[in-house]
Structure 1
């Protein structure tokens, strides 16, 4: 809700996160995200992207629209959307093979342990990992059992 137009570099495709829980950072935007931001009508009279009525010193109350969204998506009432979306983002990237270091940077985590808590691998990613090792073992390289290894000095 605090995002301002000055936080976006639509020409280069970056977003600046100025007031996160961690340290301020600048991150690249995907083409899809860039397209969404370019589609938001810009009003020169307002510096914020998301216009909402706010009380002095407070962000707009997002509870009502988030409740409607949760109901429409059949999500549990205790589901925390923003938190859940971060978990989904991290888990999807990890399951697609994106390194945890990259996921950590995109989430702006300072501690890799926190990134590990957010990045739950999907069953398919684990299955693919197991299959990759099986492919390696069954591939062109032959595995010689330890009891059949040549003895040192034997011809």
Structure 2
């Protein structure tokens, strides 16, 4: 049985979770299927953020491989943080009816402002958590100090993403606006966005993913994401009538930013789509769940995960990686970036320009000075 040692360590002046084991390629590849797993030459081990959630995730993930997990060095950390969780358990209890009623009106107010359903759910969720925190602290909801305390306790300490922090700020700002409060009087500064390059698959890697899928519906879904450069939300919202096989276009309606657009309908994908349609006979949406209605985001993620398990791809691939790969491969084939911007539905060319940093074609043109030494 392969032994894994989990322990809290300091790395770059920050506490992280060290994952140590005697080198085993099978264990390494299985571990890297998780997000946010890094290798440290200094620690000579893999590591990730330190939290109760990450400990649980690592433990369950490696148990699948039959590993023996030694987390004895984490016992003190687990006990201390469990106590904090119990101490703050008031946060998960029901809030008073007057706040429930106010949040329901807040939701309706956001709907009238024509925010998307996803945005409304996110804003209401983060605002609900913030209100619970205010009640726990017995503090004024509109206090600058409370906003700062919440940011520290629930965003900085748990090492939440910059994206989550921005969602919190946006949600609370809208709640303040809804209540007629001058939110600009409170300092709600946004953090700098992380400048990360997208994960891009090679054409052979994309092909290997498709070749690993035997289920026709699953193959059709992932093929659509790549061949049309769609977001997963756009794909599962597609209706049968949105496919225009005469003009070889796909009509994307009210996508991000409430914009309509057209994107490519691949002739090769049409062949797969027709076979899928005959076999599954969807009624309204192009991809439907077993009980009808839209196919779920979660099911789509499982489809990709199962496909990746069958390949030897070690990149941290998500459904969105197929969209990134579509854009990058178009750019490498010489497609004008303005057309790529239109196909992806980007508001600004600056967003599309990120793909110029990951194109294989442009990087290959650079002569490496190391080659001149030999």
* Both structures adopt the same fold (TM-score exceeding 0.5): yes
Question: Which has the higher mean CA deviation after the structures are superposed, 31-40 or 82-91?
Answer: 31-40
Structure 2, unmatched stretches of 5+, are 1-235, 368-374
C-alpha contact (below 8 Å) 1:94/1:100 kept by paired residues: yes
Q: Output aligned runs, 1:73-92, within 5 Å.
A: 73-76=311-314, 78-80=316-318, 82-92=319-329
* Counterpart-to-counterpart distance in 2, 1:56 and 1:40: 17
* Counterpart-to-counterpart distance in 2, 1:56 and 1:38: 20
Structure 1, unmatched stretches of 5+, are 131-155
C-alpha contact (below 8 Å) 1:91/1:118 kept by paired residues: yes
Instruction: Specify which of 252, 264, 273 is matched with residue 17 of structure 1.
Output: 252
* Counterpart-to-counterpart distance in 2, 1:28 and 1:55: 27
How many pairs does the alignment contain?
Answer: 128
Equivalent position SS for 2:263: strand
* Counterpart-to-counterpart distance in 2, 1:78 and 1:55: 31
Query: In proportion to residue count, which structure has more helix?
Result: 2
* Counterpart-to-counterpart distance in 1, 2:309 and 2:334: 32
Aligned twin of 1:31: 267
The root-mean-square deviation of aligned C-alpha atoms, in Å, is 3.0
Residue 86 of structure 1: CA displacement? 1.4
* Counterpart-to-counterpart distance in 1, 2:273 and 2:253: 17
Q: Output aligned runs, 1:108-119, within 5 Å.
A: 108-119=345-356
Higher relative contact order (CA 8 A, sep 6+): 1
C-alpha contact (below 8 Å) 2:282/2:288 kept by paired residues: no
* Counterpart-to-counterpart distance in 2, 1:28 and 1:79: 23
Tell me the TM-score normalized by structure 1.
0.66
Tell me the TM-score normalized by structure 2.
0.30
Change in 2 beyond 3 A, CA 1:100/1:72: same
Residue 30 of structure 1: CA displacement? 2.4
Equivalent position SS for 1:27: strand
